[in-house]
Structure 1
């Protein structure tokens, strides 16, 4: 019987190399619910590491809605959407999301990763071309690679290069894909200009608004509302486990696009539908996102306060007006040390390293939530200034 020790030895060597390069990842295990104050191994920490931008993940109204949904729909969906797993809760949420985003139709997916995979692989294939910002989320890149379409990447926000690529392409179908808010830099894509290029060269524009939905635009309607643009060429994806505080994702687009996804998106067709109780809870979440404008106003105030508090540091924040505030450290080792020093002082801020970010661009990714207070931001600023002086 052949031994697998050689294969295991190869894996061990890869893991050792990752650890030696200060790139080894480890999971935190919370004892508490998701909130600004979390518990790890019985110790309390002030957390700046969640995408719960509006502080809804532990909202009493959503907890009550989950309980109500469980009593009405049970726990599991039992089947895929195309068999018997599509409930009235899913249908009502899709209709509500379409109204909320201003699109004719919306389609629920279990995760943002699956939504991106579904759209890209359903709309682009062997004779097509995909054009992508180099800082796009991994899910968009993975989907483009699997699609078998020609895959062109352009430097971050470099629309001159993108136009040159679009003009040279003879592909049957062209699809431009981009984060709307970039998850590690926190900057906003120039979607108005991206749309103009797509209209000029006959391309679709797919925007991943995982980090803009609920946060940007009037009533939290997202980056498109923030920029004041709308077009049948745009395919809009957003997630429901960040600002919305629950779980899942959706795609909003023209009816023909949604029907194409129902027929051809493999990550939609071949998976069990998400629990309908979550869709039921998300109806309440949408109400809170739309009605509680104070949460977004507070976020803006916190962002301004954080920038002022960290201005004296040798490490500099990237230019971001979103709750994602990356503090560039550069060196992997130093970023890890800084994150650990914060943790020793009761503050959680993750160190983000390659391959998630480019080499030499390791950082602390500070995530703000409307659950935070000014005192929390002041505490983080004071500790970072102390560490800056001490290092």
Structure 2
């Protein structure tokens, strides 16, 4: 028996004994690349300053939001208990959907149990085999997965390249086309050219889907997002997705647009049809948070001022959203910098491939509207020192 044959036989015997044995080699390779991940557990008895979450307005711990979640549990129970199409829809779901649709300036909205599922459901319900999807290199993983699952022909262009979007739409042979983009790119907080993308899609008979997850509560009049900021709310051929898990401090995803869209999603979006409905506590909390935002429409502007102040303190350009992205480069150094911040009581995001391109691992700091100037100044000092220690400064 040759050496190669013996090796193959030993490998097949090992695989037969444990077909998942290959995971050990995979884990070793991930660790060697500095890309191993371990979900950190938050503790209630610590005084850490959290700038790693997406709780931009600080509403996750707002007394009115917590009280609303508690009332919803008392009234409807801990879970929705089934799909929305069986008995998983409560009146609370309907009331929240009506209110968020009105807030966003659209005729209707539909709530999903997460933003990830909302994006997958919307994309796969709006495009399929024989259609075209034009996406860009900055879209969130949920939109990417929706594109893959749709079975449509997918073309990816550089983010912000409106001319490329126009070329692809004009050259297509498909009748129906869908353009998908984030309004605020989640990694670095930069804003997409939404008005120009809508013009391109509208001129060439395509639908534009805009993910406003990181814009709700941050940009636009009263925090209504970039679509509203561009004066496009409720326009034909425009679909908005967003979440209750960031500025609203709760959980859940929303798709907003015309009433016909809502009806179509109920009939066709598999992530709505076959998923247990959003839990009542999350619905109640999100609706209460929306009420807080409505009552204090200047809250997003105060957030943006705090972001600008923090960015200046750490030597970063003024962001277009609540995200301050500080590139470190090497993933091991990024992890070390984040750990140094954590050791001094400051939680920051640490983004590494595949979330970001190779060589651009970074600290992602999200400023909250409920943090005072003194706290932000202290945090800025901690972050700056951590970057200095790993040699970035």
Q: TM-score range by the shorter chain?
A: over 0.9
Residue 204 (structure 2) aligns with:
201
Offset at 1:319?
5.8
Q: How does 1:128-207 map to 2 (within 5 A)?
A: 128-207=131-210
**1:23 correspondence with 2:35:** yes
Which residue of the other structure, out of 260, 274, 289, is the alignment partner of 1:270?
274
Where 1:273 maps in the other structure, the secondary structure is: coil
Where 2:85 maps in the other structure, the secondary structure is: helix
**1:307 correspondence with 2:311:** yes
Q: How many residues align?
A: 377
Q: How does 1:80-91 map to 2 (within 5 A)?
A: 80-91=83-94
Could you tell me whether the CA contact under 8 Å between 1:185 and 1:318 is conserved in 2?
Answer: no
Could you tell me whether the CA contact under 8 Å between 2:310 and 2:377 is conserved in 1?
Answer: yes
Offset at 1:26?
1.1
Residue 110 (structure 2) aligns with:
107
Where 2:301 maps in the other structure, the secondary structure is: helix
In structure 1, C-alpha distance between the alignment counterparts of 2:25 and 2:255, rounded to whole Å: 41
Residue segments in structure 1 that go unaligned for 5+ positions in a row: 33-38, 312-316
Residue 4 (structure 2) aligns with:
none
Offset at 1:381?
2.3
Which protein shows a greater Rg? Answer: 2
Residue 53 (structure 1) aligns with:
56
Give the structure-1-normalised TM-score. 0.92
| Deviation digits for residues 29-68 of structure 1 (CA, Å, limit 9, x no counterpart) | 1122xxxxxx5xxx43222101000000011111111121
Structure 1 residues 12-21 or 371-380, which shifts more? Answer: 371-380
Q: How does 1:4-23 map to 2 (within 5 A)?
A: 5-23=17-35
Residue 240 (structure 1) aligns with:
244
Give the structure-2-normalised TM-score. 0.92
Q: How does 1:216-365 map to 2 (within 5 A)?
A: 216-230=219-233, 231-311=235-315, 317=316, 320-365=319-364
1:3/1:18 Cα in 2 relative to 1: closer, same or farther (>3 Å)?
closer
CA-based RMSD of the aligned residues comes to: 1.7
**1:68 correspondence with 2:71:** yes
Offset at 1:363?
0.7
Where 2:218 maps in the other structure, the secondary structure is: coil
1:381/1:66 Cα in 2 relative to 1: closer, same or farther (>3 Å)?
closer
In structure 2, C-alpha distance between the alignment counterparts of 1:389 and 1:360, rounded to whole Å: 18
Residue segments in structure 2 that go unaligned for 5+ positions in a row: 1-12
Could you tell me whether the CA contact under 8 Å between 2:182 and 2:212 is conserved in 1?
Answer: yes
